[in-house]
């Protein structure tokens, strides 16, 4: 498909739109690869081997949550420049006696203040760069929607002379024209010298090395195409149905904990405020779990419509359980902190893995907590500690137990208050997409989405 070039009058900006990701016909050397720097040291051998075999001309490195230990990363044949003081930082790669400098940025999707801060930093950087005077290629890659975002509008209003290359496509293009291992990035901004490097480029963004998680619907809409192309795909590009299911579960699990990772210090928060945040998080995971359930109930349908939800509801909700489900949904919708927390604890106590009730919540001195507000606060601190793990393995229950299970390194002394058997039960139930409380969570997820 030939790219359509749209000139923005008086702005000096050219917008190249690719409605779908194009096939790469000029060889692997024209492709870009996107890596996340977090966890780079643990996967460096894998990355080195990939770069050695594919000879990528440009490597885009996402720097979210970069650590000082990662600054010493080196890649044979490349020169990496890091400036980790801001979200979008200047970087460069050196290959074949040619330096290619680029900047990558990632806009947080849930926090307005962080998005505004990142946009300001990016605009400040752009205004200090004069691409016309640069002889070497410069590339800026990022994650934002240029058509309707404030950042896109501000960039268009600047007389920069930059070129925007849009690779966003639609949710269906996540696997791109039947190639099951390639996805799209959102945008690239570059000078003339760099255009030739990515004229037909796509980005390889593996699920295990990226912090940019797709919405679950993208995978669901791709399942039919993945199964259809499984017999014709090459071994290198083949994605087994079991792996697709595993990725869906991993995404659901990640999306459940991610919003909790940036909670403020819970000691300064009111109990109702904490409960409200937990409610919103529950609603987010409700959508994902319902999508996943819909895909299993209706394998030939890949879009969640009201009719599908009604069929699921009619099939799964027995008359004897509807009253309980409706009551639970109303509790969540009302954002009644105490009632909601009692409901959560009731679900946890009705475990498939244990018949024991939750351990009593205690002070570090050993005295029981009796105030509902303090009980709620203690649980929120516990969930916040779990979700704030910065090791890059936040989706691994085993890693959480390893990090927080040691009493010496345990900031909340959790083992004295909440048993890890209960924690493992909750985490395993989320990972396996089974309801911790019989069918309660699964049924409530459908009910909330219908309303």
More reliable by pLDDT, 238 or 140: 140
Structural domain contains residue 317? yes
Do 263 and 310 fall into the same domain? yes
CB 29 within 8 A of CB 21: no
Do 155 and 303 fall into the same domain? no
Do 19 and 85 fall into the same domain? yes
Structural domain contains residue 112? yes
- The secondary element (H helix, E strand) that includes residue 337 is helix 337-349
Do 386 and 261 fall into the same domain? yes
Do 296 and 437 fall into the same domain? yes
Structural domain contains residue 236? no
pLDDT for res 244 = 44
Structural domain contains residue 230? no
Distances in Å between the Cα of 362 and the Cα atoms of 228, 340, 400, 401, 416 are 55, 20, 21, 20, 8
pLDDT for res 386 = 45
Structural domain contains residue 240? no
The residue from 157, 192, 212 where one domain ends is 212
pTM value > 0.75: no
Burial class (CB in 10 A: 0-12, 13-18, 19+), 159: exposed
Do 386 and 294 fall into the same domain? yes
CB 215 within 8 A of CB 254: no
Length of the chain: 451
Do 159 and 72 fall into the same domain? yes
The C-alpha atoms of residue 236 and residue 253 are separated, in whole angstroms, by 27
Do 257 and 390 fall into the same domain? yes
The string of pLDDT tens digits covering residues 339-349 is: 544 544 454 44
Angle (nearest 5°) at CA 50 between 101 and 221: 90
Structural domain contains residue 417? yes
Structural domain contains residue 139? yes
Structural domain contains residue 221? no
Do 52 and 178 fall into the same domain? yes
Do 390 and 306 fall into the same domain? yes
β pairing state of 187-190 and 98-106: unpaired
Q: Cα dihedral sign for 326, 327, 328, 331?
A: positive
> What's the mean pLDDT in 173-197?
44
The C-alpha atoms of residue 439 and residue 350 are separated, in whole angstroms, by 10
Q: Round the average pLDDT of the chain to a whole number and report it.
A: 44
Strands (E), 184-232: 187-190, 203-204
Do 144 and 286 fall into the same domain? no
The string of pLDDT tens digits covering residues 28-87 is: 333 344 444 444 444 445 445 544 554 444 454 444 433 445 444 455 555 444 433 232
The residue from 197, 212, 227 where one domain ends is 212
Give one DSSP letter per residue of 41-56, joined into a string.
HHHHHHHHHHHHHH--
Domain count of the fold of the chain: 2
The residue from 190, 212, 234 where one domain ends is 212
The C-alpha atoms of residue 51 and residue 129 are separated, in whole angstroms, by 29
pLDDT for res 54 = 46
- CATH at 149: 3.60.10
Query: 23 pLDDT band (50/70/90 cuts)?
Result: very low
Do 301 and 203 fall into the same domain? no
pLDDT for res 240 = 45
Domain span including residue 331? 245-450
Burial class (CB in 10 A: 0-12, 13-18, 19+), 225: middle
Structural tokens at position 421: 């058997």
């Amino acid at each position: 498909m030939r790219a359509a070039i749209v000139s923005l009058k008086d702005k000096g900006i050219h917008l190249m739109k690719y409605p779908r990701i194009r096939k790469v016909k000029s060889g692997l050397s024209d492709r870009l690869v996107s890596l996340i720097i977090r966890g780079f040291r643990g996967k460096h051998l894998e990355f080195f081997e990939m770069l050695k075999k594919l000879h990528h001309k440009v490597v885009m490195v996402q720097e979210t949550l970069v650590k000082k230990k990662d600054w010493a990363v080196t890649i044979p044949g490349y020169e990496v420049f890091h400036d980790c003081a801001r979200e979008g930082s200047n970087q460069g790669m050196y290959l074949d006696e040619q330096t290619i400098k680029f900047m990558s940025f990632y806009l947080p999707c849930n926090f307005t203040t962080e998005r505004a801060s990142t946009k300001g930093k990016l605009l400040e950087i752009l205004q200090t760069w004069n691409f016309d005077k640069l002889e070497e290629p410069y590339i800026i890659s990022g994650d934002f929607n240029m058509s309707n975002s404030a950042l896109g509008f501000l960039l268009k209003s600047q007389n920069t002379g930059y070129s925007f290359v849009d690779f966003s496509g639609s949710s269906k293009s996540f696997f791109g024209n039947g190639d099951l291992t390639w996805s799209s990035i959102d945008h690239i901004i570059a000078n003339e010298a760099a255009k030739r490097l990515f004229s037909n480029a796509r980005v390889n963004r593996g699920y295990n090395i990226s912090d940019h998680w797709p919405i679950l619907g993208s995978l669901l809409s791709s399942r039919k195409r993945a199964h259809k192309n499984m017999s014709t795909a090459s071994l290198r590009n083949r994605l087994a149905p079991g792996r697709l299911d595993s990725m869906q579960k991993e995404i659901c699990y990640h999306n459940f904990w991610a919003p909790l990772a940036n909670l403020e210090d819970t000691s300064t928060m009111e109990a109702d405020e904490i409960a409200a945040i937990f409610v919103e998080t529950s609603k987010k995971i409700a959508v994902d779990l319902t999508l996943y359930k819909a895909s299993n109930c209706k394998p030939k349908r890949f879009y969640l419509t009201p009719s599908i939800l009604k069929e699921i509801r009619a099939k799964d909700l027995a008359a004897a359980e509807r009253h309980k489900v409706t009551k639970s949904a109303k509790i969540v919708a009302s954002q009644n902190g105490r009632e909601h927390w009692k409901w959560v604890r009731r679900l946890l106590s009705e475990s498939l893995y244990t018949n024991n009730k939750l351990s009593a919540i205690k002070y570090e001195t050993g005295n029981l907590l009796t105030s509902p507000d303090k009980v709620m606060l203690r649980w929120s601190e516990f969930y916040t500690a779990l979700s704030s793990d910065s090791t890059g393995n936040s989706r691994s229950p085993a890693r959480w137990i390893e990090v927080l299970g040691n009493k010496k390194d345990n900031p909340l002394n959790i083992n004295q208050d909440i048993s890890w058997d209960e924690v493992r039960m909750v985490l395993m139930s989320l990972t396996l997409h089974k309801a911790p409380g019989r069918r309660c969570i699964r049924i409530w997820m459908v009910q909330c989405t219908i309303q």
